[in-house]
Amino acid sequence: MQQEQLTTYLQRQQHISEEEALWHPLRMQLNCYLIQELPPLELVTSVRCIVFQEEQVLVVKDPFNVHIQPGGRREQGESLEESLRRELLEETGWEIQQPSLLGVKHFHHITPRPENYQHPYPDFLQLVYCARATLYRPEAKEVDGFELGADFLPVAEVKQLTLTANERIFLETALQTLGICD
């Protein structure tokens, strides 16, 4: 039933990209959509956000690359917005105002389910938001986190970075949503 519900939901959304995601050793098909309605919440494992300060985008560095969608896993009992605010604070030190829902990233596992895998399988979703940064609280950042740093860069500079197809489309949608001219 869950698979049927997910398929029906995704058919109503605007498909924007398809790519392969590799989270060693897991290989997944990744389809992204612009959305107007929330998906089945039991499949939403994470929330992400493209964060702006005036006409600059927050770019996060990790040991492997840079990206523009910081965020992370939902914790039990948290609303989507509570998860988003907590994750952004932990990863970047930034608080945000009025997040706007942009889309969903649908991951479908291609590889067999790993032993003791505790997350939804074979499908899970990540929601993508955009928001403006309000207050920087460096003391709130996790010091032993995966992220190495985060800086605001001009939109034109961000567009020159090596971004995934979905990051580029979500960035353009976020710029339109927030009324930012680049």
CATH classification of the domain holding 123: 3.90.79.10
Angstrom CA distances, 62 to 83, 144, 147, 149, 174, stand at 20, 12, 5, 7, 22
**Residue 16 and residue 32 in contact, taking contact as beta carbons nearer than 8 Å:** yes
- pLDDT tens-digit readout, 11-29: 999 999 999 998 878 899 9
Letter for the amino acid at 71?
G
CA distance 42 to 54: 34
- pLDDT tens-digit readout, 108-156: 999 999 898 888 899 999 999 999 999 999 888 887 767 778 999 999 9
pTM for the full model? 0.93
- What is the distance, to the nearest Å, from the Cα of residue 69 to the centroid of all Cα atoms in its chain? 5
Enclosing domain of residue 130: 2-178
Task: Count how many domains the chain has.
Answer: 1
Q: What pLDDT sits at residue 23?
A: 82
Q: What pLDDT sits at residue 1?
A: 54
